[in-house]
Amino acid sequence: MTRTPHSPGETWPRFMRATTAAAYLDEVSIESFRRRVGSVYPKPVNVRGRGELWLREQLDESIDKLSAQVDKIRDIADVL
């Protein structure tokens, strides 16, 4: 069964369930997000009592790697 991810609006939590992480990354479905976990996207953190959660910062890092933004970021020390 394919489910459509939901969007929590303007604010994104630091810890995200698969549904929220899929929406944050604009994946077409939760299943497509899960297929990319471990290769394109980071593996989740298993939090007792809450299950699998993804850190927003790690998701952002995976986006940066995909778009080669990491190479474009300059250290301020190089500018001075």
2 in any annotated domain? no
58 in any annotated domain? yes
Total domains, the chain: 1
Q: Is the pLDDT of residue 8 over 60?
A: no
Domain span including residue 30: 15-79
26 in any annotated domain? yes
Q: Report the side by side order of strands in the sheet with 51-55.
A: 15-16, 51-55, 45-47
Distance CA 34, CA 1 (A): 13
Q: Is the pLDDT of residue 36 over 70?
A: yes
73 in any annotated domain? yes
Higher per-residue pLDDT: 58 or 64: 58
- pLDDT band, residue 43 (cuts 50/70/90): very high
28 in any annotated domain? yes
1 in any annotated domain? no
Encoded tokens for 4: 């459509």
39 in any annotated domain? yes
Structure confidence by residue, pLDDT tens digits, 66-80 = 886 555 656 666 666
43 in any annotated domain? yes
Q: Is the pLDDT of residue 31 over 60?
A: yes
Residue 5 near residue 27, CB atoms below 8 Å: yes
